[in-house]
Amino acid sequence: MRAMSDTRTPQGVLAVVKQRRYTLGEILSRPDRAHLVILETIQDPGNLGTILRSGEGAGVTGVIMDNRTADIFSPKVIRSTMGSVFRVPFLRTDDLRQTVSAVKKSGVRLAAAHLQGSAVYDAQDYTGPVGFLIGNEAAGLSRETAELADVRVRIPMMGRVESLNAAVAASLLMFEAARQRRCGPEEDR
């Protein structure tokens, strides 16, 4: 067990499973309105796992990530998802811009989390099909990816904090969409 596990104190369970592969068509054809999170170069496995776990809690219908994002099948990601990796559809793409363009053409409104966002995140309507663009922990979204967004949103900060952890920012956006879908965009503001 110690030789096969990557942790010092394994839980005593190992499994061999087939890695699930989703297509963009499968993610976009889910019966619920699209509620996507689209990741560009998320490098920290803990952030990726947290985004999947929070995404499941917020009701996301899919996670799309570029091929520079951390390996979703790495043990640290798997552990940090607490099982969500087995329940949330995801897609890894070699061409993020092409994939995002296809998502947009399917009728999904794209909101980019961006430090120079002109719109406050909770002043937008996320009740329709929506996808949140989340960028790299250090560099944010690339200019090319941010330009694909319909709106750039920012999360207002107090104190001297400039930005939030990628997983925290993604979670705020995903749960705002979930709140609006429960209550409506104008409720509880």
| 3-class state of residue 93 by DSSP | strand
- Entry pTM: 0.91
Q: How far apart are CA 83 and CA 80, in angstroms?
A: 8
- The CATH number of the domain covering residues in 33-183: 3.40.1280.10
pLDDT at position 62: 97
Q: How far apart are CA 26 and CA 115, in angstroms?
A: 32
DSSP string covering 101-151: HHHHHTT-EEEEE-TT-SEEGGGS--SSSEEEEE-BTTTBS-HHHHTT-SE
pLDDT at position 168: 97
pLDDT at position 88: 96
53's tokens: 């776990």
pLDDT at position 187: 55
Domain boundaries, the chain: 33-183
Residue 31 has pLDDT above 60, yes or no: yes
pLDDT digits (tens, 9 = 90+) for 160-170: 988 899 999 99
Residue 28 has pLDDT above 80, yes or no: yes
Averaged pLDDT, 108-135: 96
